[in-house]
Amino acid sequence: MEHSSLPSTQPTAIEKVVAFIDERVGLKQMQAKMLNEPVPGGSRWAYVFGSVLLFIFIMQALTGILLMFYYVPTADHAYASTQYIIHDVDYGWFLLSYHFWGSTAMVVCVFAHMSQVFLWGAYKSPREMIWLVGLALFGIVMGFGFTGYLLPWDQRAYWATTVGVEIMDKTPILGDFMARFLKGGPTPGQMTLSRFFVIHVMILPAALMGLAGLHLFLFRAAGPAGPFRGTPEELKAKTDYFFPRQIWKDIVGMVVVFASICALAFWEPVVLLEEATPDPGDYHPEPEWYFLFLFQLLRLKIFAGEFGQFLGAIALPGAFMALLAALPFIDKDPERNIFKRPIALIGWIVVMVSILLFTVSAIINREFLD
Amino acid sequence: MAEERESLSPTKIGLGVLWPTFWTGLPFKLAFAVLFLAMGMMHFEGRLGLAFIMLLASPVTVFALPIITMGLDSHIGEGAGIGLLFLLSIPIDIWAFGVVGRTFFLERLRREPPDGLGMTLWWKSALVGAVFLPILWVVVGAVTSTGIAIAHSLMELELLKGIPVAERISIELTLWGSVASAVLIVLLLIGVSLVGRLIRSMAQAAPPVSESYQGVITRWDLMRVPADQGLMLTSLTGAGVVLSLLFWATLPVTTPHPHECCKQPEVKAQPPLKPLESLTKNEKVIAQLSAQVDVLEKQKTEGEADKGKAKGKAGKDKDASPAKKP
């Protein structure tokens, strides 16, 4: 009897490996710390954006690495190698289209995540640092979109970059240096492509990983803010741990985003224009869709001329970003309910409607140019 | 709290049930949508946003979509996959209505959820959608086109003709966009409140729950936990694996949208190489060719010999001829 009961008490091979690692790095303690985080008021769908963003970044890194096996970052071969990825590499068209739409999904999710934090009042004390690091991450995501746009080296890529760098050139003091540094010459060429490629695949991913880690660390140190409504009794009754409910919601959020990106890749796969040349020909230069509102804003008469361009391209967006950075220090009212913060609510609606209005205007403007 | 529950407006009740129901069923429907797209069973033209909203709101658009498509001659795309997807959405939506409805009855209304709540909520909402959404479609469409025409003619006035293009576009868009959005929002709220009224009448007929708030939360919480978690996890993983395999099996290897610039040359498949056969064949060919060479060489030698003979004869004749001359 004793002999037959022995095998059941013996640890399996996996258990032995886990015990070995646990003894050295404290795996179980780490796991408990990561999963047993209390979520005040229980898990919510509104909290999934952070995890979804991490998922999109991992998928972007994965598809980006696969694309790098075939992509050649030289002015002579960038276009041809991208065409080769689309037309000759097995599933290359899907990988490239997924990567392209993944960047769009990342921008949308960043907007959604920032909006959620803003509307929930989750930037308020003691979470100011999380908000500031989040703003830096927002800048990095925009940087990813800007630098990645040039890499296919078609007319769209070339002219979007030219417009973007010209806007950057209008920044006082640093603008000229930044524009010259990015271009590496009087017009975009090999040096521009090399620099954008290095920034896109080396500098920005490293910066994003570092800052995302810091963002998570600060978030865990301060703890989740929880819902802005509900009595303490209700919040206590509903309080849950991060595992399993929030993790389950996060996974569903990731599946939805993955399926949406796949659907977009099928609906509108990446199609290149003509190879980049310093002559725009019939092509009307315009930036990626998430910069379209700014581009359309600069077409207004009020922003014409050297000073107007500076005002629209640098001063206004700069002031807006500065206001966002200063927000937790200006808004010290502990009230988090958005329906009791009318200025914040109206401000958010105005910004969102303006972005939508100018983006749609830019799309309608194409008809006038054609 | 009890007063707040009693005073819940039909719009709040409708939104409280419809909004989470839309999102609860979406992941499952999206998985099928992606599969059908990979299989090439459906194509969306320029209206992917509208198609997404239709799919998201399938609990109310399931009957409205065919009415809008056939009756109003407006469609979101092509392919048998769209119809199939909306058919598959029916059981998913009934399940989603059941989960959300039971939660809402317990947590917000503190009423005992009646049996078959999911099915009842689904057919009532689908019916409201079938009647209301085509009306909304026609009204919003008419308001939008009239708004665009009025905004355009306003900007054509002599007084406003000098306005630059960019400003003109934004002003026109603001004018007709705000009117169309306002009409759309008002009509949507009316539609939602209609569903809310139906839910409220069902709730009024249901008995109140007897437990404390903590008890209700525990019950609501346990209700969402599957009885056999292992089975659920296994079946979900299995379904995920099957869907992934189907997806990769049906995903086109080369782009379904090839450019004009990069047409693939048609390559004919080479017959498989059989070394022994080709060696024997080649040996035979070589033997034949060498025989031909032999024959040609023989012919050449014979030809040269004949030529030599002819030359010899001609030489003799030449030597003989001067003697005859003088």
Q: Which long-range contacts (CB under 8 A, 24 or more apart) does B98-102 make?
A: B99/B24, B99/B224, B100/B17, B100/B20, B100/B21, B100/B24, B101/B17, B101/B21, B101/B199, B102/B220, B102/B223
Confidence at A305, pLDDT banded by 50, 70, 90 = confident
Asked if pLDDT for residue A1 goes beyond 60, the answer is no
Tell me what pLDDT residue B320 has: 52
Tell me what pLDDT residue A63 has: 97
Asked if pLDDT for residue B182 goes beyond 90, the answer is yes
Q: Is A350 within 8 Å of chain B by CB?
A: no
Asked if pLDDT for residue B299 goes beyond 50, the answer is yes
Closest-approach residue (CA) in chain B for A230: B1
Asked if pLDDT for residue B21 goes beyond 60, the answer is yes
- Say whether pTM exceeds 0.80: yes
B-chain CB neighbours of A361 within 8 Å are: 166, 169-170, 173
The CA distance from A68 to the nearest CA of chain B, in Å, is 18
- Give the DSSP H/E element, type plus range, for residue A39: strand A38-39
Q: Is B33 within 8 Å of chain A by CB?
A: yes
Confidence at B4, pLDDT banded by 50, 70, 90 = low
Tell me what pLDDT residue B282 has: 87
Indicate yes or no: CB of A263 within 8 angstroms of CB of B33: yes
Tell me what pLDDT residue A244 has: 82
Q: Are B155 and B163 in contact (CB under 8 A)?
A: yes
Closest-approach residue (CA) in chain B for A296: B166
Mean local confidence (pLDDT), B200-208: 92
Indicate yes or no: CB of A86 within 8 angstroms of CB of B255: yes
Tell me what pLDDT residue A354 has: 95
Tell me what pLDDT residue B314 has: 59
CA B27, B250, B82 angle in degrees (round to 5)? 50
Q: Are B189 and B11 in contact (CB under 8 A)?
A: yes
Which residues lie across from B77 on neighbouring strands?
B44
Indicate yes or no: CB of B262 within 8 angstroms of CB of A237: no
Tell me what pLDDT residue B316 has: 58
Task: Please identify among residues 174-213 of chain B the ones whose CB lies closer than 8 Å to any CB of chain A.
Answer: 174, 177, 213
Tell me what pLDDT residue A306 has: 84
3-state secondary structure of A275: strand
Mean local confidence (pLDDT), B266-274: 76
**Short-list B62, B56, B58, CA closest to B27:** B56
Mean local confidence (pLDDT), A338-345: 94
How many CB atoms are closer than 10 A to CB B79?
Answer: 16
Q: Is A264 within 8 Å of chain B by CB?
A: yes
Residue A299 CA from chain centroid, whole number: 27
DSSP letters for A239-256: -EEIIIIIHHHHHHHHHH
- Quick: pLDDT tens for B311-320: 666 555 555 5
Confidence at A2, pLDDT banded by 50, 70, 90 = very low
Task: Please identify among residues 235-274 of chain B the ones whose CB lies closer than 8 Å to any CB of chain A.
Answer: 247, 251-259, 261-262, 264
Tell me what pLDDT residue A7 has: 53
Indicate yes or no: CB of B166 within 8 angstroms of CB of A234: no
More confident residue, A93 or B54: A93
- Quick: pLDDT tens for A160-204: 999 888 888 888 888 889 999 999 888 889 999 999 999 999 999
Q: Are A139 and A151 in contact (CB under 8 A)?
A: no
Interface with chain B: mutation pick from A85, A266, A298, A354, highest number of B CBs within 10 Å = A266
Indicate yes or no: CB of B251 within 8 angstroms of CB of A264: no
The CA distance from B111 to the nearest CA of chain A, in Å, is 18
User: Chains A, B: CB contacts under 8 A, how many?
Assistant: 99
Asked if pLDDT for residue B321 goes beyond 70, the answer is no
- Give the DSSP H/E element, type plus range, for residue B305: helix B275-324
ipTM surpassing 0.95, yes or no?
A: no
Structure tokens at B177: 């966009």
Tell me what pLDDT residue A242 has: 85
Tell me what pLDDT residue B51 has: 85
Nearest to B169 among A252, A268, A361 (CB): A361
Residue A341, phi then psi, degrees to nearest 5: -125, 75
The CA distance from A25 to the nearest CA of chain B, in Å, is 29
Mean local confidence (pLDDT), A49-76: 96
B-chain CB neighbours of A94 within 8 Å are: 251-252
Tell me what pLDDT residue B319 has: 55
